[in-house]
Structure 1
Amino acid sequence: MAPTTKSPVETARPFAARRWKRLRAALTILATQLAILAAFLSLWEHATSANSVFAFMFGSPSAIAGFLGQMVRDGSVFRDTYVTGLETLLGFFVGNLFGTLIGLSLWYSRFVSRVVEPFIIALGSIPIIALAPIIIIWFGTGLVSKIAMSTLSVVIVALVTSYKGAVGVDPDQINLMRTLGASKFQIFRKLVVPASLADIFAGLKLTVGFALIGAIVGEFMSSSEGLGHAIFKAGSLYVIPKVFAALVVTIALALLLTFIVGKVERLLMPWRRQI
């Protein structure tokens, strides 16, 4: 008896069912998150409306929304977000570029990696805010100093995660390529780098926040615009709702950048889409 073949419609049904199941799960998670957020904001609004001390110290969601609207109307939210976003993107790119290149290149020599390991740990242990006065002396108070702060916040994390991915490659696969006559550079290019992508992108998602923190800290130290400047200025005047309004914009910027990194990961690593 000849084997029966399924029609295209029958073949598509299991795929459509799995897709609907994933969509339903995503919508359930989103609805739960929105419900938790709505409950939190309601409790916050109630607590601040019933207590003037709480209202002064923590602001209120309605007051924060009012300041957000004001920032949109006067255009300051767009200017500040552009400035901080530019500093963050440049620091993120430069820090990850150098950190990833150095981390992957350390795979070539375990001797060199062991020699530089304590220096990397020492640099990574320095609080970024402690470097701010030195960065200002070296690079001034303009855009370059903010990019430098953002870069320094990123580079060590990118280096460590990329090196971890490189040394974690299966040694059996490396030995197999060697037996097939592959050179060390071919092993590095065709095996080590692709196998390290998961760790590299994990580091990218992590360093988005670090790059933004570095830019904000740089704006705290010296700036006339940017979200960090808006937060510092509002805090110095004790306008707590405006501080939270600028923080909301900062969080939105971080989420947007993380989303973009995730999309790039899905584009470059399509085999991980189902994970």
Structure 2
Amino acid sequence: MSALFDKTWARQAFALAVLLISWEVLGRAGLISPFYAPPPSAIALALYELFADGSIWQHLIATLSAALAGLAFGLLLGAVLGFGAAMVRPVADIIEPVMILLNAIPRVILAPLFIIWFGIGLGSKVAVSLVLVAVLIFFAVYSGIREVDARLVERVRTLGGGRMTLLREVYVPSVTAWILGNLKVAVGFAFTGAVVGEFVASSRGLGYLLSFAQSTYNAALTIALIVIIMGFVLILFGLAGRVERRLLHWRYA
């Protein structure tokens, strides 16, 4: 398995190297316009300049704070609403249509409204991330509870298990698996919400820098910022994967 893993990473690294070298050569030969697709060397220079003066860190911290806060509150709100809707039918009759409607529309279009409500500070970015994550987790929890095997529930009740036993021994393990299975998607949604909120209106953050790069037609800076965002998301994906494997070790075993 380790040999296969090493070979896979080697092939991926080789393919990436070929792509970057070809891109650089074609760009220097004038076959690719640097205005639209600047060569990797120009993107690397833009990355260096972002980190050289240290100003990038305040923008990284702003985006990361909004994304992680939105992720945490979205996980909590989605789980609570999902549990309530799955366990109490009248609650489901009220909440489920709202969640279906929010899921049907591009939720990032709510960003301008949140900025009107909460201003251009951290609150509006957290709100956008929260909504994106909460809708996803709601359906994960709601579906996780509703798809629990009814025979298993009956057996627990037959053995004298009450509502708390069902929650602890049946519903919570099932819901945990569904939440962790969607955790990587939730991380991506949280970052999307934070960056989109900053892009619409903000005084700092990676989305603010992206808006500046767009307004100045700086493709190298734009791609450099995209690379930074992708790097942070991949790091969080890795952490989420470790949490999933640790808490769901029985599934991987």
TM range (shorter): over 0.9
Corresponding residue number in structure 2 for 1:104: 83
* Aligned equivalents of 2:51, 2:155: Cα separation in 1: 59
Corresponding residue number in structure 2 for 1:8: none
1:244 aligns with 2:226: no
Corresponding residue number in structure 2 for 1:220: 199
In structure 1, list runs of 5 or more residues that go unmatched: 1-21
What are the residue-to-residue correspondences of 1:184-199 with 2, within 5 Å? 184-199=163-178
Across the aligned residues of Structure 1 and Structure 2, the Cα RMSD in angstroms comes to: 1.6
Further displaced range: 23-32 or 209-218: 23-32
Corresponding residue number in structure 2 for 1:45: 24
Deviations 1:175-216 (A, max 9, x none): 110101111232022111102222111221111111101000
* Aligned equivalents of 1:121, 1:209: Cα separation in 2: 20
* Aligned equivalents of 1:28, 1:52: Cα separation in 2: 33
Within the candidate set 90, 100, 103, 1:124 is matched to 103
* Aligned equivalents of 2:94, 2:200: Cα separation in 1: 35
* Aligned equivalents of 2:174, 2:64: Cα separation in 1: 30
1:268 aligns with 2:247: yes
1:211 aligns with 2:190: yes
- The number of residue pairs the alignment matches comes to 253
Corresponding residue number in structure 2 for 1:142: 121
Corresponding residue number in structure 1 for 2:212: 233
Report which of the two structures shows the higher radius of gyration computed on alpha carbons: 1
SS in 2 for 1:57: coil
**Moved runs in structure 1, 4+ residues, more than 4 A?**
none
TM-score, with structure 2 as normaliser = 0.94
What are the residue-to-residue correspondences of 1:173-184 with 2, within 5 Å? 173-184=152-163
Corresponding residue number in structure 2 for 1:14: none
Distance 1:170 1:123, change over 3 A: same
In structure 2, list runs of 5 or more residues that go unmatched: none
* Aligned equivalents of 2:7, 2:122: Cα separation in 1: 43
1:32 aligns with 2:11: yes
Kindly, what percent of the aligned residue pairs are identical? 36
Deviations 1:38-86 (A, max 9, x none): 1221222223222276211011111000111111111133222111111
- Once the 2 structures are TM-superposed, how far is the Cα of residue 111 of structure 1 from its aligned partner? 5.3
Structure 2 letter corresponding to 1:91? G
Distance 1:143 1:112, change over 3 A: closer
Further displaced range: 75-84 or 141-150: 75-84
* Aligned equivalents of 1:244, 1:125: Cα separation in 2: 30
Query: Are the aligned partners of 1:81 and 1:253 in contact in 2 as well (CA < 8 Å)?
Result: no
Further displaced range: 256-265 or 114-123: 114-123
1:168 aligns with 2:147: yes
